[in-house]
Each structure stands twice: as structure tokens, then as C-alpha cells.
Chain A
Amino acid sequence: MPRKPWRRALALAVEALWPPAAALGLSFAVGTVIVAAIGENPLRVLPLIFAPGLGSADGFARVLFDATPLILTGLSVAYAFRAGLFNIGGEGQLYLGAFLAAWVALALPGLPRPVALPLAVLAAAAGGALWGAIPGWLKARFGVHEVINTIMMNFLAVGITGWLVERYLQEPGQMIPHTAEIPAAYQLQPFARGPAGAWLGLDRANPLGASLLVALAAAVVVALVFRRSVEGYRLRAVGLSPPAARYAGIAVGGVTVRAMAVSGALAGLVGVHEVLLYRHRFLDNFSSGLGFLGIAVALMGKNHPLGIVLAALLFGFLNTGALEIDIFTEVPRELVVVLQALIILLVVSFSELALWRRRRRRRREEAA
């Protein structure tokens, strides 16, 4: 008995969406309890998370701004995961990307803008790619699991870039450990400063800019690679069964190194957002866990580029809302971090649950 196609589509959509929706709901329920327990009114506090983003075009643009690096780090995690690799090194890779972008800009100040900008973008990707390729190579060559190595390389990245800034690139006369401002040819300006700003209703100080377009373009490219390319096929074969891939003549080591390099490059592109658009300089220790949040975004988005963009948007809301909570209530903004962690934990649990239910139902249908 064939079911109507729209009902099938609906059923599929429900199946795909209930785990993240339930996770979101349950973690906010826990959030309610926490807020109430410390004596604040949950009905006042929790809506604050979404209020700024939904309240105005300007607020939504800020959410998009916060979502931009998360799209990139989420894609980074998903790309490596496609090849069965767990890249927990996004944090270190984005430091290298940001640092290299700033360093290229400061080292080559005389370049014209059409050369300078692409070069800096490339530098950001290259920095991340290098930092990703190293654990990839260690895995391919020596069989060392990438998880511990990528984490160690996070510490190394923060330490090394910090030292390089301190030793060679520190802006003179400044207490804050950061580089000098990059030359104007390398700078991206927020949309708010351009002609579209007023038309979109953005505040002059709104930071949203072209890095969002870079992130969205990256999502499209990753989606195409996954769905249609030979490389995407090989990533998947290696991810699902390395021995079968090897027997079929796929160079598993090569795929591993490339996957980690591309994954690193995607994280490195956060440098475009951070250095070229936002600060116009490299700030020591600037990221508060963007790389780790990328893991959450990828899990929430089911490692699918579209899902990742949506999940990044959600986490963008949470990050923007955190500021609001900090300013207007007695609740520490870290509440949002707790919520984010709960969301991941629940979303992965529910997804597995959904998977097992689906398998069981399919088996029962086959039996019937």
C-alpha cells in the first residue's frame, strides 16, 4: 500500500527534526529550573536569549555575525567526520588561520586590495590546513588516533601564536597582547558602513560583514563535495570502512591527510571573520571555544551543511542572548554554556534513540 508522497515527506521531516527540537526543549526546561533555583524569574530570563535576535533587523544581523564562525567550525568538524575522523582541533586551527592572515597582512603592507584580500583569505585557510594536516599525517603514517593529537595541538597553537605576537608582532605601547592594525587594503568593512546598512536598518556599530558570505559559500561547496564529487565518495568510503576502501585501491592515508587539511582550512577561515572583518588585528587568546562549539553545531546539524547553517544560527542566538542575560539579570552568562552543553548531550542521545527506533520499526515491517 503506497503512502502519499507528502505524508512520507512529513514523516521524514518529523523523524529528522524531533531529536533537536526535544533536546532544545528539555535543556530549556533544565535552564528554567536552574534559573528558578538561584532565585530569578525564568519567564523573564530565558526569553532574553531570543529577544534581541528576533526584536529587530539589527539584532538578527548580530545573531548572524555570531553564527558566522560557527558555520565554519561546524563545517570543519563535519568534513573530517565524513572521513571518520574526529577533529577536535578546530580551536587550534582557527588560531593558526587568524594568525597567518594577520601576519601576511602586516608583512606585505603594500599590496593592492584585489591581491591583498584573496591572499589573506588563502593565508587563513593555509594556516588552518597546516594545523589540521599534522595530526592527519600522524594518523596516516603512524596510526595515532587524531583525538588526543588535535587537542594537544590546540594548546600548542594558542601558546605559539601568543608567543609570536609577544615576541615579534606586539603593537608598541600597548598592554593588550595583540598585533598592530592590518593595512586598509586587507580590511573588510561591516555591511552597516556601506550603502546597504541604512537600507537594512542596521546600527552603525553592527559588525556583520562579508565573512558571512564566505561561510555560506563554504557550506555550498562542502555540500557539493559531499554529494557529487569523487573526493566526497572517497571520504565516505574511508569513513564507513577503511579496510574496504583500502582493498578497493583508495589511498586511505592520502584521504585522511586531505580530509584533515580541508577540515583545518575551514576552521582557519574563521581568521577572515576575526581578523579581516572584526578586529582588524590578531588578538592573543581571542577565541572562547569557537572550535569546540563547532563540534556542537556539527552534531546538532547532523553533519549536513544545511543543518549546520541552521544549528549555527541557533547557537548564534544563544551567544547573542548570553550578553543580554549578563547585562540585564543576576544570572551568570555561563548559563548559556551550560545550556549549549546540555543541548549537545541530549541531541546526540535522542538521535541515537531515533535511529534505534527506526531500525527496530524497519525490522518489524520487514518481518510483517
Chain B
Amino acid sequence: MRVELEALSRSFPGVRAVQDVSLAYEPGRLYALVGENGAGKSTLMHLLYGMLPPDAGRILVDGRPVRLAGSQDAIRLGIGMVHQHFMLVDTLTVAENVVLGAEPGRWGRLDRGAARAAVRRDAERFGLAVDPDAPLESLSVGEAQRVEILKVLYRGASFLIFDEPTGVLTPQEARGLFAILRRLRDEGKTVVLISHKLDEVLSVAEIIDVMRRGRHVGRLAREEAGAERLARMMVGREVLLRVDKPPAAAGPPVLEARGLGVRRRPGQAELADVSFILRRGEILGVAGVEGNGQRELAALVTGLLRPEAGELRLDGRPLRGLTPRRARDLGIRHVPEDRQRTGLVLDMSLRENLILGEEGSPAAGQAGVILPGRVAALARRRVAEYDVRVADTRQSARALSGGNQQKLVLARELDGDPRLLVACHPTRGVDVGAIEYIHRTLLAKRTRGLAVLLFSSELSELLALSDRIGVLYRGRLTAVLDADVVDEETLGLYITGARGVADA
């Protein structure tokens, strides 16, 4: 199946997401589409998948123009998409998820046997081992992704789009996925991989398209592309792929964990016997595959969760009965994982968000009364100091871009020189400019004595910022490594448990 995009354009309020993009895809090839966050990659693929109508331009399949009124039209034509955020229903089984919307059976009956057989057949042909009767919530992330692929194949797709598929995978799982992609190509399918990770694109794709600010800026064969060249095309200027990190000048211990533990519960991972020391002026990174206890460790330090074993000490004094309130009063600050859900109240103004957690402090008012003048002054100062780009601090936080929202959280959490910062995925989903800014700010605060416990799923980020990196695997701290001597590949082995337990 040959697919062509002709002069496609699509705008959103305030953004021209895709501008005049023309591309052609041949069957049996493996393509990649790269670009920064917000460059228009996902929007372009959503146009192709029928989830959005284009403002202008057209799509041709095998030379004939097609109109896509919805994703079902795309599916009918043989176009399938494996979404970045899995579109899977947790409470259904693998087979039910695969056939949903195109179920076998007559007279309204659901033929479970046929569904199961169909899953087995495709699973075998493309090497996607998974149990059709397993409930989806029991699967690992890698397995769930295979279900997504099976779903697309079950619908007879010959053109498969993978939207940032490795974001949630370990390096080892990612290699497994790439093997599947090559197998799909060998079976004659067209594969398009959307990504912003240059190394993986260079290792798997044959043809690489680059987008920048909604425009298609070039197509390269793998042989002619290199990381530096691609990066330059993506950003439009020279970029430093590494930040300069001044040498550590770690002082006395700020945070000590001794034998910390919590039990496994629904929605909560286990944590056992976690001990470490975090010093003044030091960034301690924590690496691990999601669900290995990172979330629980961050919650323990910020008072959101109580330890069931062991203890935490701040400046040598034990932290007993820690609550988020007390943690804050003691100078422990938190940049939470999900800024939209837990970091900000999106429907409050910037001003109000900047006093969240300090609403009862003299900075905001006195005697139970909030003084708008003080709040406005505080907001103006913080917004200016932390480079939050807004015209008016009365506008709602919802209206800000991801990068500005994250800077808003940083402004609140870093202002007033706290003792300790727990930063969870501080650059997730923000643009390159904001990433640079956030990295510089964290390093600057570290130089001024801030202790940082940094959680990130981007191994490169951990390596760039941390002084030492602890590895969490199945709730245990299996290694603490010097960030200067490890690389991503080694770290990958640690976080998957291939290394660490025996030689820790």
C-alpha cells in the first residue's frame, strides 16, 4: 500500500501545528518521523489516522484521494496506529481488547473462541507472545504494547504508525520492539516510527523525515544522517547535547534513609530496605523501570506515604509522622511527576497556584485572611525570576504551555531556598528550551547547596545531572553508581535486574 500526503495543513487555536507537509510512503519500508515536542509529528499522524480533519491538503492511498472522517475510515483502509498512551481497557482480557469494535460472532453474540484463535494466529506469525485470556491489568508495559500491535494487525493494517513507542520501555525492551518492527517490514508492511530519540531512530529506521515547527524540513536515508545533523535540523540551530556540570562540592548529609520499606498493595509497589545518604549540594539520581518503587520512595520523602519499616532523617533528626504539610515546613519541596494533576490546580490563576501550600503563610496574608496585594507582588517576582512567560498572572494555569507550567511549579517549589528538592521527571513532555532552562536551574541550585533527589525515566537526563545514581529494582536499591563512570547501556542492565543484585 502506497500512501501519499499532499500539502497537508492543520491549525489549532494559536498554533499552526502542521504546515504544508507533503510526504510519500512505500510499502515494505521502515520510516521514522523525528522532531522536538510540539514540532507537529503527532498531529501529522493524527491527520493520517483520521482522528483530526486537515484544514487543507489531501491524503492519497494507492494513488486515489481518500476522505477520513474518523479513525474507523483509516482502519478500513488498512492504516493502524499504536498510541503513545496505550488505548487499552484494563479490565478486559487481551483477546477482548484486540477484537473490540470488530468482534467475531453473530446475532450480537461475542464469539470468544474465535477471538482467542485470531489473537494466537497473529501472535505466532509476528512473534508477539502474549496470553489471549490474561486480563490486561496483569501485563507488563512491554506486553501491553504487543497487545496494541496485535489490535492493529487484527484489523488488517498494512500501514502501521508507532507514536513514541519506546518512551515507556527499557533499552532491552526497546530492542525487542525494534526486532518486531523489522519483522513487520519483512512481511511487507509499512512502518512509521515517531520519535524524538535520535539514537534509536538511527539504529532502526531506513528513511528519516524531520519536522520542525509544523514543517517538513527534510528526508534523509540512514546512511547520510547522523545525530548531530538530525539535531541541527530538528532545532534549527547548534545544540549542546550535554550540559556542563561543575564538579560536586558535597557537604554534610541532608537526608538519610535507613532500611526504608513499604508493603505491596493494589496501586502501590513494594519498597524494602532502602538506605542512602544525600548530601548538601548533591544531586542523587534514581533510575528504574516504572513501578519498581520510585513513586513510593518520592512519596515517603515528601510525607505523602508513611514508612512501614526503617526511618528517614533530615539533618540528622528523625522524621517521624511526616505529612506533606510538615515536610514543606521543614524545607522539603516537591516537583511532582504529574504537574497537571498534582503540581498545579489548573483552573486556578497563576497567582493562586504560586501560593499553593503557602496560602497560610505571611507571604500570602495574615490571621487567616489572604491579602491580594501581597499575593500579586509575590507572583510577579517569582514569575520574573523563574522565566515563566506570561503577560498576566491572573490568567489560569491551564492556558500555559507544558514548559511554562513546569517552570511555574519550579518557581513555587524552589523559591525561598529549601533544604531538599524531590524532583520527579522534571522535564517530561516539555520543549527543548524549557529542558535546558530546568537543567541549568537545578544545577545552579545544587551549586548553592540544595540537595536534590532526582527521579527520571530518561537515562541521559540522569547521567547529565546526577552526581551519583541509585538503581531501584523490585523495590530494592540494588546499586549506587558514580554518574561519571557509567553509561546508558550499563544503567539499562542495572534497571532490568541483569546486574546489580549480586555485585551490589
Direct touching of A and B (C-beta under 8 Å):
yes
Q: B-contacting residues of A (Cβ < 8 Å)? A: 228-234, 236-237, 240-241, 243-251, 363-364, 366-367
| A228 adjacent to B370 (CB under 8 Å) | yes
Q: How many A-B residue pairs have CB under 8 A?
A: 82
Interface of B, helix, strand, loop or mixed by DSSP: loop
B379 to chain A, nearest CB (A): 14
Question: B12 — which chain A residues lie within 8 A by C-beta?
Answer: 367
Bound complex: CA A327 to CA B138 (Å): 67
CB contact list, B311-332 vs A, under 8 A? 323-328
Residues of B within 8 A of A243 (CB): 341-342
A234 to B369, CA, bound (A): 12
- Of the candidates A230, A234, A240, A364, the one having the most CB atoms from chain B within 10 angstroms of its own CB is A230
- The secondary-structure label for the interface of chain A is helix
| A244 and B368 contact, Cβ closer than 8 Å, known pairs A237-B345, A367-B13 | no
Does B304 belong to the interface (CB within 8 Å)? yes
CB pairs A–B below 8 angstroms (13 shown) = A229-B370, A233-B359, A236-B352, A240-B348, A241-B342, A241-B347, A243-B341, A244-B356, A245-B356, A249-B324, A249-B326, A250-B325, A250-B359
Q: Decide if B325 touches A229 in the complex (CB within 8 Å).
A: no
B325 touches A251 (CB 8 A): yes
Question: Nearest residue in B to A246 (C-beta to C-beta)?
Answer: B324
Which A residues are CB-close (under 8 A) to B14? 366-367
Known: A228-B369, A244-B342, A247-B342. A366 touches B359 (CB 8 A): no
- Check B343–A240 contact: CB distance below 8 A: no
B279 within 8 A of A: no
The interface residues of chain A lying within 8 Å CB-to-CB of B370 are 228-230, 232-233
CB pair B347 A237 closer than 8 Å: no
B327, B346, B347, B359: the one contacting A230 at CB < 8 Å is: B359
Kindly identify, within residues 1 to 22 of chain B, every residue whose CB is under 8 Å from any CB belonging to chain A: 11-14
Chain B, residue nearest A368 (CB): B13
B449 interfacial contact with A, CB 8 Å: no
Distance from A73 Cβ to chain B, minimum over Cβ atoms (Å): 26
Cβ contact within 8 Å between B357 and A236: no
Interface pair A247/B304, CB less than 8 Å apart: yes
Shortest A356–chain B CB gap in Å is: 14
Tell me, yes or no, whether B336 is within 8 Å of chain A by CB.
yes
- Contact between A247 and B347 (Cβ–Cβ < 8 Å)? no
Point out the residues of chain B lying under 8 angstroms from A363, CB to CB.
13
Please tell me if the beta carbons of A230 and B323 are within 8 angstroms of each other in the complex.
no
Residue in A231, A241, A363, A366 with the greatest tally of chain B CB atoms within 10 Å: A241
Contacts A229-B369, A230-B368, A247-B336: A367 and B343 contacting too (C-beta < 8 A)?
no
Chain A residue with minimal CB distance to B372?
Answer: A228
- Complex contacts, B13 vs chain A, CB 8 Å: 363-364, 366-367
User: Provided the pairs A236-B348, A249-B328, A363-B13 are in contact, do residues A241 and B369 lie with their beta carbons within 8 angstroms?
Assistant: no
Contact of B345 among A231, A245, A364 (CB under 8 A): A245
Q: Ordered nearest first, which 8 A-B pairs have the shortest CB separation?
A: A248-B357, A249-B325, A367-B13, A363-B13, A249-B324, A248-B356, A241-B345, A247-B342
CB distance from A253 to the nearest CB of B (A): 11
**Is A367 a contact of B11 with CB atoms below 8 Å?**
yes
* Distance in angstroms between the alpha carbons of A332 and B347 in the assembled complex: 45
Q: Which residues B338-397 have CB closer than 8 A to chain A?
A: 341-348, 352, 355-357, 359-360, 364-365, 368-370
Chain B neighbourhood of A245, CB < 8 A: 345, 356
Q: Which residues of B contact A236 (CB under 8 A)?
A: 345, 348, 352
Complex CA gap A304/B345 in Å reads: 21
Contacts of A229 in B (CB 8 A): 368-370
Sample of 14 more A-B contacts, CB < 8 Å, known A229-B368, A240-B346, A240-B347: A228-B369, A237-B356, A241-B342, A244-B341, A244-B343, A244-B344, A244-B356, A245-B345, A245-B356, A246-B324, A247-B302, A247-B324, A249-B323, A249-B327
Q: Is B189 an interface residue (CB 8 A)?
A: no
Taking the closest CB of chain A, its distance from the CB of B400, in whole angstroms, is 13
**Chain A residues positioned under 8 Å from B355 (CB to CB):** 233
In the assembled complex, B196 has its CB within 8 A of some CB on chain A: no
B407 at the interface (CB under 8 A from A): no
The answer to whether A240 and B324 have CB atoms under 8 Å apart is no
B334 within 8 A of A: yes
Contact flag A231-B368 (CB < 8 Å), given A243-B341, A364-B13:
yes
Q: Are B348 and A237 in contact (CB under 8 A)?
A: yes
A143 to chain B, nearest CB (A): 13
Which of chain B's residues have a CB closer than 8 A to the CB of A230?
A: 359-360, 364-365, 368-370
Q: Nearest chain A CB to B357's CB is how many angstroms away? A: 3
Q: Which residues of A contact B360 (CB under 8 A)?
A: 230
CB distance from A8 to the nearest CB of B (A): 15
The residue on A at minimum CB distance from B299 is A247
Partner of B357, one of A231, A240, A250: A250
From A251, which residue of chain B is reached at the shortest CB distance? B325
Query: B12 to nearest A CB, angstroms?
Result: 7
Contacts of A251 in B (CB 8 A): 323, 325
Which residue of chain B has the shortest Cβ distance to A224 in the bound complex?
A: B369
List chain B residues, Cβ under 8 A from A234.
359
Q: Which residues of B contact A232 (CB under 8 A)?
A: 370
Q: Which residue of B lies closest to A364 (CB)?
A: B13
B83 to chain A, nearest CB (A): 24
Chain A nearest CB from B182 CB (Å) reads 42
From B324, B346, B347, A248 is in contact (CB under 8 Å) with B324
Q: State the CA gap A249–B326 with chains docked (Å).
A: 8
Give complex CA distance A236, B349 in Å: 12
Most chain A beta-carbon neighbours within 10 Å: one of B325, B356, B369: B356
How far is the CB of B399 from the nearest CB of chain A, in Å?
A: 9
Q: Tell me the bound Cα distance from A140 to B460 in angstroms.
A: 41
- With CB as the reference atom, state the residue of chain A lying closest to B357: A248
Chain B residues in 8 Å Cβ range of A237? 345, 348, 352, 356, 359
Residues of B within 8 A of A249 (CB): 303, 323-328, 357
* Smallest CB gap from B368: residue in A: A230
In the complex, chain A residues whose CB is within 8 Å of the CB of B303: 249
8 Å CB contacts to A: which residues of B293-308? 302-304
* B365 & A247 in contact (Cβ 8 Å cutoff): no
**Nearest chain B residue, comparing its CB with the CB of A252:** B324
Closest chain-A Cβ to B300's Cβ sits at a distance in Å of 14
